[in-house]
Amino acid sequence: MIEVKDIKKKFGRKKVLDGVSFTANKGEITCLIGINGVGKTTILNAIMALTPLNKGEILINGEKLNKHSFEKVTFIPDAITMLPQMTIADAMQFMQDFYKTWNQERATELLGFFRLEETEKIASLSKGNTAKINLLLGLALDVDFLLMDEPFSGIDIFSREQIAEVFTSHLVEGRGVIITTHEVHDIEHLIDKVVLLDNGVVLKEFNSEEVRENEGKSVVDVMREVYHK
Amino acid sequence: MNRYLKLVNFELGRFIKVYLVLIVITIIVQVTGIIVKANEYLAQADKAIYEDLMPQSQFIEQYGQMSFLNFARSLWFMGPIALCAAALAFYIFLIWYRDWFGKNTFIYRLLMLPTARINVFFAKATSIFLMVLGLVSVQLILLPLESTILKWVVPTDFRVDLALSEIIKFDYLAILVPQSFIEFILYYGAGFMVVSVLFTAILFERSYKWKGILMGIGYTLLSIVIFAMPVLLMIVFNQDYLYPLEMLAVETFLGIVVLAASIWMSDFLLKKKVTV
């Protein structure tokens, strides 16, 4: 389980996170929703210790993040994190060299699934293919948790469908996923838990299935209620 | 350890093309230079002896015999060394900043590797250290080659032959090519310390942005003051408190203190403060 406990973060004088708390469980897809600039990416960066917090604590399986945590949790940012001169094969080799949890079989499967060529250079990839490679490099690790930052942002409809398909496949099964988005339509049916954010605080945290069954509301319906209040 | 070595290999691979270009430039310029300088000297001798009818002995007395040092003092020799030094000095900054800037933010990947983050620091520092050693090695291989070219071009009467051991005692070459293991440790240890201090200053900037620039400059100045303290005290009080050997021991100790402080601070910044 990932526990985010009362985290606070300021950029200059601006409070970006003002006491955010939530949990994300293994085997669940947790979606952080909010408009741009609400602090979604900052939360993911903070979980990976890529930005320091002013206050609060984040625990991964009960432990603070350490070097071994990177074999258990991986972050898929919305920008490619490999060097432009690398080919896809080089990028995969890099991951294999450094991560014990790299699963080459799964990487090859994903390569086929996304119809990507190993010889393609990172620099020449389209926005959609960049998102797919990011996803491939993250999903091919045998980790407990995947953090995904805006995986659908700025990509074409076909790539979106392909990426959404991944969420329903065995590739994600059993793992915990935290995904940030401000476009919830593509994955509404896949989400287990929703955390609605605004002005640096959690406005509402709910189980989407329960809300659907008990109240007959979709995630978008709840969002309308909360954000239009 | 294994991942650290892989990182060193990776960092070296990223700079290898520019590095090879630097080596090729050094070889071409220096080899061309020794031929040009030797021919210049011979042309001067030809003019003096055959046109101005100056006796050979008088020419040698007036202009001196050509030695390798005539070439070593020229831009042909020093230019490529200065270029390589400038490139590596620039690379101390580039090796970090290129990972943050641009479309592909590689720093994400480096900071999320399942290894202690200080290994990224060590790998970058080691790769710069190895590149310096590599360039010095190339220079050491070039020296006898250039010396041989000088012997081919300039007749025996007009030249003074210097052994490699004599050439490397010349001026700045004595620092680049230490004469003993102790000198190697001192010169290259000091170099490693400087690189570590600059890396720490860069990490201050990457952690605290604008404030970090001031902190980085402050940290660098503080390191200089600490390291140069014995010398500064001697200048201020105009008195030699320490014998040379004692001074060496104190400087070595202070160098180790500055190096250890830089590594500790960088480890702290990378773990707790750095921002992507």
Among B155, B131, B168, which residue's Cα sits nearest to residue B41? B155
Instruction: Give the minimum alpha-carbon distance from A80 to chain B in angstroms, rounded to a whole number.
Output: 5
pLDDT tens digit sequence for B115-137 = 999 999 999 999 999 999 999 99
> Are A98 and B115 inside 8 Å of each other by CB?
yes
> Are B109 and A80 inside 8 Å of each other by CB?
no
Instruction: Give the minimum alpha-carbon distance from A82 to chain B in angstroms, rounded to a whole number.
Output: 6
Q: Which domains does chain A possess?
A: 2-227 (3.40.50.300)
Distance CA A8, CA B218 (A): 29
> Are B111 and A79 inside 8 Å of each other by CB?
no
User: Which residue in A has a C-alpha nearest to residue B113's C-alpha?
Assistant: A70
> Are A81 and B272 inside 8 Å of each other by CB?
no
Among B84, B183, B64, B79, which residue's Cα sits nearest to residue B132? B84
Nearest beta carbon to residue B109 from set A52, A67, A81: A81
Q: Note the ipTM here.
A: 0.89
Nearest beta carbon to residue B272 from set A52, A67, A71: A52
Percent of chain A predicted with pLDDT > 70: 100
| Between B173 and B139, residue with greater pLDDT | B139
A chain contacts of residue B276, beta-carbon cutoff 8 Å: 45, 50-51
| pLDDT at residue A60, rounded to an integer | 93
Contact residues for A145 (Cβ-Cβ < 8 A; gap 6+) = A2, A24, A26, A60, A72, A73, A74, A175, A176, A177, A178
B chain contacts of residue A94, beta-carbon cutoff 8 Å: 10, 109
Sheet containing strand A2-11, strands side by side: A14-24, A2-11, A55-60, A63-64
| pLDDT at residue B1, rounded to an integer | 65
pLDDT tens digit sequence for A111-159 = 998 889 999 999 999 888 888 898 899 999 999 999 999 888 878 888 8
Enter the pTM of the model: 0.90
Chain B residues within 8 angstroms (CB to CB) of chain A: 3, 6, 10, 14, 102-106, 108-109, 111-117, 207, 271-276
Res A45 pLDDT > 70: yes
Number of Cβ pairs < 8 A linking chain A and chain B? 67
> Are B112 and A99 inside 8 Å of each other by CB?
no
Instruction: Give the minimum alpha-carbon distance from A54 to chain B in angstroms, rounded to a whole number.
Output: 10
Residue for token pair 């605290």: B208
Written as one letter, the residue type at B158 is F
Q: CA separation (Å) from B243 to B207, B239, B240, B258?
A: 42, 11, 7, 22
Distance CA B6, CA A198 (A): 43
> Are A79 and B117 inside 8 Å of each other by CB?
no
Nearest beta carbon to residue A51 from set B14, B114, B275: B275
| Between B270 and B237, residue with greater pLDDT | B270
Res A220 pLDDT > 70: yes
Percent of chain B predicted with pLDDT > 90: 73
